[in-house]
Amino acid sequence: MGRLAGKSVVITGAGSGIGRAASLLFVAEGARLVAVDRSEAVADTVADIRKAGGTAEAVIADAGSEPDVAGFIARAVSAYGGLDVIWANAGISGGLVPLGEQTPEHWQEILRINLIGPFLAIKHAMPQMISQRRGSIVCTASVAGLKSGASGHPYAASKAGVISLVQTTAYSLSGTGVRINAVCPGLIETGMTKPIFDGARERGTEDRIGQLNPLKRAGQPHELAAMGLFLASDEASYVNGQAIPVDGGLTASMPYAGKPI
């Protein structure tokens, strides 16, 4: 019996990176999954899960669209009889456009996916979870939402918003039995961070990746998935309203502003 045995779970951004790693791990721990992504790569995630004997459905959807969010949450409830966990993980980076060259449209799209997306996940998951008197909501924030210097302005602002959303929602859910927390990745090797890793390799500076944190390395998606599993499970029954860095210790001092790899 795994830590999520029989639990109904939704994970967004499940086609790659942290979302894919979390999907594989959660199902290995007994979850029944609705894996969501706007890319068809989510079908590959589900195919791998089913090959291993797990239970999962793939949904191609936009995590920042309210009809899509309502649809995939309803699908999980219909398929599995309830909703125990949702991990609002889908996000986009937006690149490193100079502040003076950014446009409202650029900001709006990043905020739509990164901040409105988690809000919609919370909004549509709450009624089912409250009716059950239990549930765990996990949101992907970032160390960029904790301190400056880790990413571009709109991305950092969106992730700071996620942290605030998690903290305020914890109090909105007081007495319901539903918990909410955020994970804050540091430098993790995913599709989103691929330009950083590729650029360092092209310059021959790959050995400098992750050298600004005390562990002296970058992280891997499975390390974030493990934290998400803890927060989703009953083992974290007294953890609520927290934004937890998974960053090799980087935010202990945040020394990297102005020091590109």
Which residue is listed with tokens 């005390």?
Answer: 214
Going by DSSP bridges, is the β-strand pair 55-60/85-88 parallel, antiparallel, or unpaired? unpaired
Is 256 marked active-site?
no
Residue 75, classified by CB atoms within 10 Å of its CB into exposed (0-12), middle (13-18) or buried (19+), is middle
How many angstroms separate the CA atoms of 230 and 173, rounded? 20
How many angstroms separate the CA atoms of 239 and 38, rounded? 30
**Tokens representing residue 251 in the block:** 């935010």
Considering only CA atoms, which of 69, 19, 66, 75 is closest in space to residue 46? 19
Per DSSP, helices labelled H in 89-186 are: 104-111, 117-132, 153-172
* Dihedral of alpha carbons 49, 53, 55, 59, sign: positive
- How many Cα atoms sit within 13 Å of 236 on the Cβ side? 25
Considering only CA atoms, which of 69, 75, 102, 82 is closest in space to residue 4? 82
Q: For residue 246, what are the β-bridge partners?
A: 185
Count CB atoms within 10 A of the CB of residue 97. Answer: 13
CA 14 to chain centre: 9
Annotated catalytic residue, options 80, 155, 238, 256:
155
Active centre residues (catalytic):
155
